[in-house]
């Protein structure tokens, strides 16, 4: 599969995590995308949380109730629809996402005036005045970076334990970096197992 334009920012972020520079490119963008795809979570029209005036939406657990004075759902969808509280911290979305007023492609589509896809924040200057549902793909960039580094790229010498770059000769241990990224990755875009909600 060719490199998708919607993956450009995620690929750039992953390159930064693994310390890849133009002068030293052990992985192609295709290889980075393939590894990101192995660490992908699909979100199928998941209910977003929002502020009281429908201008700021984000991918966090929806906390409203029908009786809430400031958080009354106005969409015809039932409030029992799964929301982001079923997942660990979510973010790093591909840019081909969709925001709709319901859980089908027939529902009205909305485009945010400002979107931060790293943490799933969407801001509107004109309030849509409806609940919004997110459909898209989130990527575990930390686990993808750890997986890439485990491949021990060939720099023309023995398997690499650490690497120095630049005039400052900054050195970091790859093994420690892999472990740290794996720990971060356990908390990103993961469905919470055995979760029971009232």
Name the pLDDT band for 26 (thresholds 50, 70, 90).
confident
Query: Is there a single domain that holds both residue 155 and residue 96?
Result: no
Higher pLDDT, 85 or 110: 110
User: Rounded mean pLDDT of 144-148?
Assistant: 91
Asked if 64 and 88 touch (Cβ cutoff 8 Å), the reply is: no
The Cα 93–Cα 116 span in angstroms is 9
More confident residue, 195 or 83: 83
Q: 75 with 125, same domain? A: yes
Place of tokens 């589509």: 109
Range of the domain at 63: 41-139
Do 24 and 56 belong to one domain? no
| Of the residues 114, 139, 164, the one at which a domain ends | 139
Average pLDDT in the chain: 78
Residue with the two structure tokens 């081909």: 96
For 44, phi then psi, to 5°, come to: -105, 90
Same domain for 162 and 75: no
A 10 A CB-CB count for 184 gives 17
Q: What percent of the chain has pLDDT over 90?
A: 42
Q: End of a domain among 95, 112, 139?
A: 139
Total structural domains within the chain: 2
Tokens of 145: 């970076």
* Structure confidence at residue 189 (pLDDT): 74
Task: Indicate whether 31 and 55 sit together in one domain.
Answer: no
Q: Is 133's pLDDT higher than 90?
A: yes
Q: How far apart are CA 107 and CA 92, in angstroms?
A: 25
DSSP conformation class of 191: B
Which residue, 166, 165, 169, 185, is CA-closest to 177?
Answer: 185
Specify which of 22-26, 80-84, 146-150 reaches the highest per-range mean pLDDT. Answer: 146-150
When pLDDT is cut at 50, 70 and 90, the band that residue 184 belongs to is: confident
Query: Is residue 8 domain-shared with residue 69, that is, in the same domain?
Result: no
- State the pLDDT confidence band at 151, using cuts at 50, 70 and 90: confident
The verdict on 45 and 35 lying in the same domain is: no
Q: Are residues 86 and 174 in the same domain?
A: no
Q: Please tell me the pTM assigned to this model.
A: 0.74
């Amino acid at each position: 599969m060719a490199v998708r334009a919607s993956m450009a920012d995620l690929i750039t972020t992953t390159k930064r995590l693994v310390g890849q520079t133009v002068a030293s490119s052990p992985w192609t963008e295709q290889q980075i995308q393939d590894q990101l795809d192995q660490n992908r979570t699909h979100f199928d029209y998941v209910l977003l949380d929002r502020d009281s005036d429908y201008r700021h939406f984000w991918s966090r657990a929806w906390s409203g109730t029908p009786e809430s004075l400031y958080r009354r759902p106005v969409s015809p969808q039932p409030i029992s629809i799964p929301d982001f509280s079923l997942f660990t911290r979510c973010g790093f979305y591909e840019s081909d996402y969709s925001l709709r007023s319901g859980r089908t492609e027939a529902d009205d589509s909305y485009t945010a005036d400002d979107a931060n896809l790293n943490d799933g924040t969407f801001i509107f200057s004109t309030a849509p005045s409806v609940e919004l549902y997110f459909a898209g793909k989130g990527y575990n960039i930390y686990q993808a970076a750890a997986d890439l580094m485990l491949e021990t790229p060939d720099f023309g010498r023995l398997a690499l334990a650490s690497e120095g770059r630049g005039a400052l000769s900054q050195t970091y241990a790859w093994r420690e970096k892999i472990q740290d990224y794996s720990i971060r990755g356990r908390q990103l875009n993961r469905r919470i197992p055995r979760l029971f909600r009232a």
